[in-house]
Structure 1
Amino acid sequence: MLLTEEQRFTLIAVCITSFLTPFTGSAINIAIPAIGKDIGANIVALTWISTSFMLASAALLLPVGSMADIKGRKPIFMAGIAIFGLTGLVGGLARTSSLLLAMRVLQGMGGALIFSTGMAILTAVTPPGMRGKFLGINSAVVYVGVSVGPVLGGFITHYLGWRYIFFFITFLTLVALLAATRIKTDVAPGKMTGFDLAGAAFYTSGLVALMYGLSIIATAAMGKWLLGLGVVLLALFVYRELNSESPLIELRVLLRNRSFAFSNLAAFINYMATSGVTFLLSIYLQMVKGLSAQAAGMVMLSQPVIMALVSPYSGRMSDKVEPQIVATWGMALTMVGLIMYQFVNRDTSLIYVAITLVVMGLGFGLFASPNNNAVMSSVPAHQYGIASSTLSTMRLVGQSFSMTVVALIIGAVMGKVKIDAAEIGPFLLSMRLILGLFAVTCVGGIFASLARGTIHAEPDRLKG
């Protein structure tokens, strides 16, 4: 079946934006040491260059997703692309850590606009018989972004400088924006009765206050007050969503469905335990082992390659074997990989580091697809939108928590030292503490994965 012009351009626009987000994160992580040296940022500020993007995206994803369902997806999608590209351009020109950090916050906001609309637009323009193929292509592009990010980011940083990563991002957004102008289909569901403004305010402000307060609690007195404020605001958000006629997220569905609830909890824990690893490993390989950005990128490539190879097979396996079993093994292997990092020091061979990355990649590859399958299979068809948005929120919030913990422990152990003046001993101690904590967290993830129960044995529950 030949694609229409709209389908071709929609696929191009959505696939480029799906590539951009993982590519940007992994490429910038590789460039972190170079960024720190160039603009004189301390190591705590550098953690926020990575954290700020994820936190801004997580804070806006639910409100923007709800707004897109009411007002239409195409304008929000295109605005997200434009913001992503413009902030990339200004970020590449930034001479101070403050300006770069501000651009990363705005870029995260643009990312939220893209996350909440791209998949829905792609689904809307494709007929049911081709939908799986289109979504499969889009998923493959995400893995390409994760895999290419360290290598291409390292190459660009080594030969051109880290600023050209941002310029490359801007170029790709221009292509995506031109393709998006050819999208015509923009059907918003008619069931939405209104936008929960109070819920959006509680969620966004509560999440930001909680994350920032946690990250500075060891170094600033206001940290505990922000942390407490965040807890209160998020509690108000939960109360609001349970009683709202048009909630941002259907917490009532989450609380009634054991498999759905524990699968999302497992996703949150897994992303929290793994997302900070690439940031730490980038610094370790370049500042401790003395590798160039390009060489560090090649070493780090082993994890996403294993993820990309294993995920399709684990996904198919979870159609035959309970996702509970496959995903739990994945979580356990992730924990093993994190424990292996406890033995990393300045004399550790690169072969050992690569093996640890392979174990981590195998663990995540076994976990992600079966867990996604469990989430989507635990709800009836008319709740797929709720399931998808909830899972995306768990991913982004988990990633944000991961980098917040990194900022907290690095700030407490090392202080606000410049990255080129940082001592290897305190950094290695920080790294072991962080990854040790993440390994312990995986124990909770294993229990959450087991507690979800069976999916294939309960098909009747999902009818209607």
Structure 2
Amino acid sequence: MTASANSQRAEPTELEPISREGLSLLVILAGSFLAPLLMHSTTLAIPSMAADLRLTAESVSLLTLGHILSSACMVLPAGKLADIYGRRKIFSIGTLISGCACLLGGFADSAISLIAARCLQGAGGAFIFASALALVNSIPPPQHKARVMGIYIAIAYLGIVVGPLFGGYVLTHTDWRWVFILPGIALLLTGFIGSVCLSWERYGNRNTRLRWLDTSLYMLSLGLIAVSVFKTGALIGQFMLLAGLAAFGGFCWFQTKRKDPLLQVSLFLHNPVFALLGTVNFLAYSAILALSFTLTLFLQYILGLDALTTGWLLISQALLTALVAPMSGRLTERYKIKDLLLIGFTIMLLGMLCFAVLGESSSVWLVIIGLALVGLSIGIVDTQIIHTALNSVSHEQLGSASATLNGLRSMGGFVGIGIVSYLMSLYLGRNEIVPALYAELYSMLHVYFIVAALLVAVALLLLVVGLIKRDTL
């Protein structure tokens, strides 16, 4: 009887080893979590850096502008390099670059070295996100792509949620340098695992190529525009701005003549879905990507809050996005994509209007409501934009299309931070941010919040025209 019972007893179930694709997704999600965590925790620490290193308002703006400039400059070449050498390899290189940048920032002792670290950090982040988006869209089977994309966006925004809390906790108990060092160690470990232990998609398409003339022209155009921000009052600044715009126009013209372009301009000319979604995505990120920086300045300088309290307040946006994004993919099963986009951008506009009416003695609840509305809107529209835009292109264009989407986001953020940097230069000049200049700082922030709300309003108007009248989707 005992033998019979033993024979009928189920054998212990062995844990199935994680698949190669599953391990790849875990590493990609880890890097996609750490990169935004680093960006937002270091942004929260900018007032502490400014006080410790006695940074001027111009240097403070360069900490953010340098980061987004290098990201915008590198995201398109990174997408092309991912097509050539393999997305896994470029992703691993990006995490290693970001990790090294963190260590450089952690031991910086001057404005120049700190700005250099932020620039290197932006370049590493460009490598991560240019490859991660395409990897996430390529690994899962078609029936799970929308859901996995929602998880990817949620993980990325979870990094944004944890970033301010992590930064606030570190700044409260230790030194701002650890905001760089601790994520840097984690990124180096992630990069090591990605480069040594993973074998998924080891090689790319060697038939494509990166044209260095196009890349140089693209970087030159953004660089000229960035430098002109600080010299707009002088003739040389106006000349540099016009030269930068002309160089970017020339770059776009070159792309229409290339069989294997760096920027898929043809998608805007021949793919109305991608053109519409790419444009509104650019406008939205022009408005929202600078919010973390501007609200950090507002909460810590104008309202006098400490870093930890500021971190707790800033998480409301990312928390709503992280909660809503995984469900956004399922919403397409019940609602039309165009309806979700219109609702999402309307909510985003309401959130931006909350910031536009902020006063020097406003309640923090107005900030929380605005951030919650913006976070809710991003959770609704981000998954729809990415999934729909990438599904509108061929498989061969997937790498360049995902890099183009990331490039549009980075360029949108570059425009937003550029506006902030211009306003800081106009209102504060090269002075340190001291209490005597808080009135000028508030005026600068108020103007930016109004401009950001107008950018979202334009995006919503384009959606109304493109989705309702033309019925693009």
TM-score normalised to the size of structure 2? 0.89
Name whichever of 135-144 and 402-411 sits farther off: 135-144
Task: Summarize deviations over 1:109-156 as a string: whole Å, max 9, x none.
Answer: 222222222344556665667666654543332121011111111111
Counterpart among 346, 363, 369 of residue 377 in structure 2: 363
Structure 2 residue aligned with 1:70? 84
The one-letter code of the counterpart of 2:254 is R
Q: Does 1:379 align with 2:393?
A: yes
Report how far residue 26 of structure 1 moved. 1.3
Contact 2:82 2:399 survives alignment (8 Å): no
Q: Distance in 2 between matches of 1:40 and 1:382?
A: 50
In structure 2, the residue matched to 1:113 is 127
- 1:209 maps to what in 2? 224
Question: What runs of 5+ residues in structure 1 fail to find an aligned partner?
Answer: 460-464
1:173 and 2:187 aligned: yes
Q: Displacement of 1:34 after TM fit?
A: 0.7
Contact 1:53-1:107 at 8 Å conserved across structures:
yes
After TM superposition, list the pairs within 5 Å mapping 1:259-278 onto structure 2. Answer: 259-278=273-292
Alpha-carbon distance in 1 for matches of 2:367, 2:267: 42
**1:73 CA displacement:** 3.5
Aligned ranges 1:97-176 → 2 under 5 Å: 97-121=111-135, 135-176=149-190
After superposition, the Cα gap between the structure-2 partners of 1:45 and 1:319, relative to the gap in structure 1 and judged at 3 Å, is farther
Q: Which amino acid aligns with 1:209?
A: L
2:239 maps to what in 1?
A: 225
Q: Could you tell which deviates more after superposition, 348-357 or 277-286?
A: 348-357
Give the aligned partner of residue 20 of structure 1: 34
2:453 aligns with one of 436, 439, 456: 439
| 5+ residue gaps, structure 2 | 1-14
Deviation at 1:219, TM superposition (A): 4.7
C-alpha contact (below 8 Å) 1:324/1:450 kept by paired residues: no
Offset of 1:358 from its aligned partner?
1.8
Task: Tell me how far 1:343 sits from its aligned partner.
Answer: 2.6
Deviation at 1:99, TM superposition (A): 0.7
Q: Is the 8 A contact 1:263 1:375 kept in 2?
A: yes
Shift of 1:382: 4.8
Q: 1:134 to 1:339 in 2, by over 3 A?
A: closer
Q: Which of 204-213 and 55-64 deviates more?
A: 204-213
Paired AA for residue 227 in structure 2: Y
Deviation at 1:68, TM superposition (A): 2.5
- Matched residue, 1:423: 437
What's the secondary structure of 1:301's corresponding residue? Answer: helix
Q: CA deviation at 1:369?
A: 2.4
Give the C-alpha shift of residue 381 in structure 1: 4.9
Task: State how 1:87-102 maps to structure 2 within 5 Å.
Answer: 87-102=101-116
Which of residues 166, 181, 184 in structure 1 aligns to 2:199?
184
Aligned to 2:256: 242
Distance in 1, matches of 2:313 and 2:289, equals: 17
Conserved 8 A contact 2:150-2:383? no
Give, as a single letter, the amino acid of the residue that structure 2 aligns with 1:79. I
2:295 & 2:106 partners in 1: Cα distance?
23
- When structure 1 is superposed on structure 2, of 449-458 and 234-243 the one drifting more is 449-458
Are positions 1:254 and 2:265 aligned together? no
Farther off after superposition, 8-17 or 141-150: 8-17
Tell me, yes or no, if the aligned pair for 1:124 and 1:187 is still in contact at 8 Å.
no
**% same residue:** 25
The residue type equivalent to 1:93 in the other structure is F
Distance 1:268 1:259 in 2: 14
The alignment status of 1:448 with 2:462, answered yes or no, reads yes
Give the distance between the partners of 1:68 and 1:372, measured in 2 at CA.
Answer: 18
CA contact (8 A) 1:327 1:370 kept: yes
Q: Matches of 2:182 and 2:454 in 1, distance apart? A: 38
Name the SS of the counterpart of 1:150 in structure 2: helix
CA-to-aligned-CA distance 1:150-180 (integer Å, 9 cap, x gap)? 1111111111121101001211112202311
Which piece of structure 1 moves more, 345-354 or 274-283? Answer: 345-354
* AA aligned opposite 2:260: S
**CA–CA distance in structure 2, aligned partners of residues 125 and 334 of structure 1:** 31
- CA change 1:369–1:120 in 2 (3 A) is closer
Letter of the 2:213 counterpart: A
Offset of 1:345 from its aligned partner?
2.0
Once the two structures are TM-superposed, the CA of residue 2 in structure 1 deviates from its matched residue by 4.1
| Cα RMSD (Å) | 2.6
When structure 1 is superposed on structure 2, of 305-314 and 91-100 the one drifting more is 305-314
Q: Is the Cα contact below 8 Å between 1:260 and 1:452 reproduced in 2? A: no
Contact 2:151 2:325 in 1 (8 A): no
Rounded to whole Å, the distance in 2 between the matches of 1:315 and 1:220 is 49
Q: C-alpha displacement at 1:372, in angstroms?
A: 2.5
- Farther-moved stretch of structure 1 (304-313 vs 272-281): 304-313
Hey, what does 1:310 align to over in structure 2?
A: 324
Partner of 1:79: 93
Which deviates more from structure 2 when the two are superposed, residues 376-385 or residues 257-266?
Answer: 376-385
Q: Is the alpha carbon distance of 1:450 and 1:374 closer, same or farther for their aligned partners in structure 2, counting shifts above 3 Å?
A: farther
Change (3 A) 1:252 1:133: closer
TM-superposed CA distance for 1:189, in Å, is 4.9
Mapped to 2, the partners of 1:286 and 1:30 lie a distance apart of 9
Q: Distance in 1 between matches of 2:384 and 2:208?
A: 34
The verdict on how the C-alpha distance between 1:218 and 1:228 changes in structure 2, with shifts beyond 3 A counting, is closer
Please give the secondary structure, in 2, of the residue aligned with 1:207. helix
- 1:354 matched to 2:368? The reply is yes
Further displaced range: 106-115 or 271-280: 106-115
2:211 partner letter = D
Q: What's the CA shift string for 1:168-203, capped at 9, x where partnerless? A: 121111220231110113354548343222221211
1:34 is matched with 48
Tell me which amino acid in the other structure corresponds to 2:165. Answer: V
1:422 is displaced (CA, Å) by: 5.2
**TM-score, scaled relative to structure 1:** 0.91
Q: Deviations over 1:263-301 (max 9, x none)?
A: 100000000011112211111111122211001111111
Aligned length: 458
Taking structure 1 as reference, are residues 239 and 188 closer, same or farther at Cα in structure 2, changes over 3 Å only? farther
Farther-moved stretch of structure 1 (286-295 vs 415-424): 415-424
Q: Post-superposition shift, 1:455?
A: 13
Q: Secondary structure at the match of 1:117?
A: helix
Change (3 A) 1:403 1:284: same
Deviation of the 1:329 alpha carbon: 2.5
CA distance in 1, matches of 2:37, 2:344: 24
Match of 1:462 in 2: none
